[in-house]
Structure 1
Amino acid sequence: MTEGGEARWWHEEEGRIVCDLCPRDCRLLPGQRGLCFVRRREGDRMVLDAWGRSSGFCLDPIEKKPLYHFYPGSSVLSFGTAGCNLSCQFCQNWDISRAKETHNLTDRALPEEIADAAVRWGAESVAFTYNDPVIFAEYAIDVAIACRERGVRTVAVTAGYIREAPRRELFAVMDGANVDLKSFSEEFYFRLTGGHLAPVLETLATLRHETSVWFEITTLLIPGHNDGAREISEMCEWIIRELGPDIPLHFTAFHPDYRMADVPPTPPRTLMDARKRALSMGLHYVYTGNIADREGSRTLCPGCRNPLIEREGYRIDSYRIDAGGACPVCHHRIVGRFWDRAAPLPFGNRRIPILLHPGS
């Protein structure tokens, strides 16, 4: 990819350019943009307006992504672009994901500059987040390659709505991911996101069976829409059957926003009950998020139930996984990506906005 922003994954058909990146299959006439807004037809080619540009940078705790089993306690350089290929009525980042103006992409951000900034700020990894890296996959791949050359890991925070060929290429250069499984209902996906469930499940299965990427799953529980006991049970059954019981699952709280401002926030009890149900069904690592719940943020040993990591918000208060990645009591192997020493880096709850080009 050059700085000009020429996109991949498209073909011509009956005078239109058809985008092959995601299941939307946007069919573009000259000058038209895809639903994601950042992929545009220019003459007889498709361009990616987001290449080399960002909507901002922050240094975050990795637990904020959320990733609880991926180098706990470390810092991550987070950034995104603008736009999205889903139309979630409940979007919590709608000012970025639904942005329809390229002036939202104000920061010049070349791949090598991002990788160098991560090294300069001591970030263990770079996260593509705030909006979905699927829509700027070419750019994310270029950044990931630049990071890998400098020993920096990369993380995709994504809804997983992507076709097979770009999926394989994107995750071939990622080290970690958090996949937003918005519901286990096709009707929910179609009505409230404008998408479909099956491609997301395909992404999860690909990550588990065909890559070495460490990934975790997040489900935002929305009162009256995807928080029913039956749906949660069906989702957990699928995860255990198709992915295995060791995949961490995060249930997080909805707050009224965007086009669902009339829906009440998720009661903490709903998240706690969902966690209890998932654990009782056999999942080993289940967490709650966006609420104060110390119990729901603990990492417990599946073998002896000994608390191994205790958290307060995004801060790690105690860490008992040994240097071999196992429980020091029963020696059960804890899955994930852990330090080769028995202590994490204490980044804590901080969130530090940064300038990619200091002094500019």
Structure 2
Amino acid sequence: MNRTIETAQGFPTRYWRTLEDGRVECTMCPRFCKLHEGQRGLCFVRGNVDGKIVLLSYGRSSGFCIDPIEKKPLNHFLPGTPVFSFGTAGCNLACKFCQNWDISKSREMDSLMDQASPEAIALAAKELGCRSVAYTYNDPVVFHEYAVDVAKECRKHGVKSVAVSAGYMCAEPRAEFYSVMDAANIDLKAFTDEFYRKICGGHLQPVLETLQYIKHETSVWLEITTLLIPGENDSDRELEALTQWVADKLGPDVPLHFSAFHPDWKMMDKRSTPLDTLVRARRIAMKNGLRYVYVGNVHDKTADSTYCHHCGQLLIGRDWYELSEWNLTPQGACNACNTPCAGVFEESPEDWGGRRVPVSMYRRAATRH
């Protein structure tokens, strides 16, 4: 679980406590890693240095890129806009199906080649025309201090912040983190604790608590993604339970994305998710009262688009990450019946489309000198 620290002294953190046996317990997430001097937690980027938990990846990234906001996925938050995306290394879950395992399970800190201060990221996002910055690729829970500092700088420059996370964190850091976020997509990986324990190395309840906290205790715009894996979390019974819980505990206006699995990392023996499974999941969710349900990692324009829950009018047409139809009023309501559509919208959409543009912060810094 732990490995001796061989790099620099790291960035100071405050979510930890000293135990009677001399170890230091990290209180960032429900893993509560208990570390001797020189050891790292499962995330590999938080460790015990001089009797304190430090963050070893602060200011260092696995890469920066401009993405469409719909790729996060966020369908009801500033549609059509570009988002400046970045991550670091490490993760506090151990999902066997991880599709970013080369980043989330990196054991080579030197693979984080690009570096940038919080101010540099906020300025780059603004200068490149991005309306928001996304903390993504791996989980921002493990680079909490870096993400929070970036988000604070973004607010100074009028740039929004988007968290893409599994939501596996403790209450105190969660409150600090979401106080500076504007939108979030949380991975609800399944709806059984057995799945979380056996396949993710975690537990379901902390994720449910995070979802309820974001929805009911913050102003953060919330969307949810569930990756459906054949034979693991795609039964009618589980989909009924999951979607009923979302409708009852979070409300009908929280968008839910069902994404297709493809074999990766430690689950190469599983087949890819059929489109029929995603369509079935969407049908169950809508039957249970959810108004905005989407499919992902497959091409289905009908299931990617947004409709008025009152009259059925097509509100936002989507073809992959390209927007087509736009039938919202400047106030974000259906232009046929004037029923509001839940979300954060501008008077008209932007047209970033499906472009993905890598950004070198090193080159940007060099051109300034």
TM-score interval for Structure 1 and Structure 2 normalised by the shorter chain: over 0.9
The partner residue of 2:355 within 340, 350, 354 is 350
Note the C-alpha offset of 1:310. Answer: 0.5
Distance in 2 between the 1:7 and 1:56 partners?
A: 23
Look up the SS of the partner of 1:259 in the other structure: coil
Q: Over residues 107-166 of structure 1, what are the superposed CA-to-partner deviations in whole Å (9 max), with x where a residue is unaligned?
A: 111100000100111000000000000011111000000000000000000000000000
Distance in 2 between the 1:277 and 1:234 partners?
A: 10
CA contact (8 A) 2:19 2:25 kept: yes
Q: How does 1:99-248 map to 2 (within 5 A)?
A: 99-248=106-255
Note the C-alpha offset of 1:47. Answer: 1.1
2:19 is the counterpart of 1:13: yes
Tell me the matched-pair count: 356
Distance in 1 between the 2:43 and 2:309 partners?
A: 41
CA contact (8 A) 2:29 2:170 kept: yes
Q: TM-score, normalised by structure 2?
A: 0.95
State the AA in 1 paired with 2:233: N
Note the C-alpha offset of 1:357. Answer: 3.1
CA contact (8 A) 1:7 1:39 kept: no
State the AA in 1 paired with 2:357: I
Distance in 2 between the 1:202 and 1:210 partners?
A: 11
CA contact (8 A) 1:127 1:156 kept: yes
Report what 2:76 is aligned to.
69
State the AA in 1 paired with 2:216: H
CA contact (8 A) 2:252 2:289 kept: yes
Look up the SS of the partner of 2:279 in the other structure: helix
Distance in 2 between the 1:84 and 1:45 partners?
A: 20
CA contact (8 A) 2:308 2:339 kept: yes
Report what 1:84 is aligned to.
91
Look up the SS of the partner of 1:216 in the other structure: strand
Note the C-alpha offset of 1:305. Answer: 0.7
Report what 2:332 is aligned to.
325
Report what 2:321 is aligned to.
314
Report what 1:263 is aligned to.
270
Q: Over residues 325-347 of structure 1, what are the superposed CA-to-partner deviations in whole Å (9 max), with x where a residue is unaligned?
A: 100111111111000x1x21100
Structure 2 unmatched ranges of 5 or more: 1-8
Distance in 1 between the 2:84 and 2:362 partners?
A: 14
Look up the SS of the partner of 2:341 in the other structure: coil
CA contact (8 A) 1:82 1:105 kept: yes
Report what 1:296 is aligned to.
303
RMSD: 0.9
State the AA in 2 paired with 1:288: V
Q: TM-score, normalised by structure 1?
A: 0.98
Distance in 2 between the 1:33 and 1:8 partners?
A: 16
Look up the SS of the partner of 1:262 in the other structure: coil
Report what 1:284 is aligned to.
291
Distance in 2 between the 1:46 and 1:274 partners?
A: 42
Structure 1 unmatched ranges of 5 or more: none
Distance in 1 between the 2:287 and 2:229 partners?
A: 22
Note the C-alpha offset of 1:273. Answer: 1.0
Q: Over residues 73-113 of structure 1, what are the superposed CA-to-partner deviations in whole Å (9 max), with x where a residue is unaligned?
A: 00000000000000000001000001011012111111000
State the AA in 2 paired with 1:354: V
Note the C-alpha offset of 1:38. Answer: 0.2
State the AA in 2 paired with 1:180: D
Note the C-alpha offset of 1:4. Answer: 5.2
2:38 is the counterpart of 1:31: yes
The partner residue of 2:100 within 90, 93, 117 is 93
Distance in 1 between the 2:213 and 2:256 partners?
A: 17
